[in-house]
Amino acid sequence: MEAFDILLTASFWVAAIRIASPLIFATMGELICERVGVLNLGIEGIMMAGAFAGWVTVYAGGDLWTGVFVAALAGSAFGLLHGVLTGPFGLSQHVVGIGITLLATSLTYFTYRVVLPEVSSPPKIVPFQPLEIPLLSDIPVVGPALFNQTPLTYLAFVVVGLVAWVLYRTPLGLALRAAGENPAAVEAQGIGVAAIRIGAVMAGSALMAVGGAFLTMSAFNSFFFEMVNGRGWICIALVVFGSWRPGKALLGAILFAAFDAYQVRLQQLAGGVVPYQVFLMMPYVLSILALVLVARRASYPKALMIPYQRGER
């Protein structure tokens, strides 16, 4: 099979959409946070916590959707911590974010070892199964890729639409966007910036955690250490690449995932001529390149990374 033919196979696009799904959740989560002015570097750890929380809930006998809910809950708890520390307490978003990532990751590993003290290979759960949508899934290539995925993938696309709708079509969205552009104006409308920001960071963190849960409950069926593997940081790059717009960020995530799926297949094709690490590096290199490409015309939310204090000018 030639390198180009890969792009025409259905299995490639199925894999691309599957790889994109957790990135879509987490990118939307980060996008919400940044739109209200909060850079959430807790993303990597929150995804890890979500991956574990969802998986362990199902492992303990819970329903799959209960697992998703518990993951979201865990995520929003870390979001609350992040929101309070960087909001009313005015601490550095960088330091708090890294701190949350370290805390969430170590708490996850600790809990994993407490729950499963003596296991060599982590136990498996029955993950979400693909849900075939009749008729639509019969379309060649596009059908299986978009309409024969697990329910969580469909949810990811629904979330994008929901985020876009809330941000651009509702009064709440106006307040959210203003909190990230001109918080003083929001305060002048009698809306609390702190509350808006904390709420948004909680919601965003919940989405990140669901993105993590996708890994253990849909992409794989088990929990491994270091399984998030930098996906959180990649999502931060995707938000910039998507210029803080849900639709563009979605496209970026799918493009990125397609590239990732492509390098895996290219790796098999290259058959040991090029070291496999070169292919594994590609996603990270690509993320940096994407950042450099868009950086010049990037329109950051004006109040990003600026703590807001009431009554300050």
Q: Enumerate binding residues for other proteins (CB under 8 A).
A: 39, 41, 81, 85, 88-92, 94-96, 98-100, 102-103, 105-107, 109-110, 113-114, 117, 194, 229-230, 233-234, 236-237, 240, 275, 277-278, 280-281, 284-285, 287-288, 291-292, 295-296, 298, 309-311
Query: From CA 112, how far away is CA 140, in angstroms rounded?
Result: 42
Nearest-approach distance from CB 281 to other proteins, in angstroms: 5
Q: Which is nearer to other proteins, 89 or 165 (CB)?
A: 89
Query: Which CB atom, from 13 or from 279, has the smaller least distance to other proteins?
Result: 279
DSSP secondary structure of 210-257: HHHHHIIIII-SS--TT-STTHHHHHHHHHHHTTT-HHHHHHHHHHHH
| Element at 131 (helix H, strand E) | strand 131-132
DSSP structural state of residue 89: T
Closest distance of CB 112 from other proteins, Å: 8
Residue with tokens 């599957």: 18
Q: Minimum Å distance from CB 221 to other proteins?
A: 23
Smallest gap from Cβ 38 to other proteins, in A, equals: 14
Q: Kindly tell me which of 114 and 126 has the beta carbon lying closer to other proteins.
A: 114
Q: Looking at beta carbons only, is 24 or 237 nearer to other proteins?
A: 237
For residue 206, the SS3 value is helix
Q: With contact defined as beta carbons under 8 Å apart, do 180 and 305 qualify?
A: no
Contact 255, 283 (CB under 8 A): no
CB nearer to other proteins: give 125 or 240.
240
What's the angle, vertex CA 13, arms to CA 9 and CA 18, rounded to 5?
145
Distance CA 285, CA 290 (A): 9
Nearest residue (CB) to other proteins, 6 versus 304: 304
Q: For the CB of residue 279, give the shortest distance to other proteins in the complex, in Å.
A: 9
Question: Minimum distance from CB of 154 to other proteins (Å)?
Answer: 29
Task: Answer yes or no: are the C-beta atoms of 254 and 17 closer than 8 Å.
Answer: yes
Q: In the complex, what is the shortest distance from the CB of residue 103 to other proteins, in angstroms, rounded to a whole number?
A: 4
Three-state DSSP state, 149 = strand
The angle, 0 to 180 degrees and rounded to 10, between the axes of the packed helices 246-270 and 151-169 is 150
Smaller CB separation from other proteins, 178 or 234: 234
Distance CA 212, CA 71 (A): 8
Q: Kind and range of the H or E element at 284? A: helix 276-295
Task: Count Cβ atoms within 10 A of the Cβ of residue 223 and give its class: 0-12 exposed, 13-18 middle, 19 or more buried.
Answer: buried
The residue (of 41 and 46) whose beta carbon lies closer to other proteins is 41
Cβ at position 158, least distance to other proteins in Å: 28
Give the whole-angstrom CA distance, residue 110 versus residue 3. Answer: 44
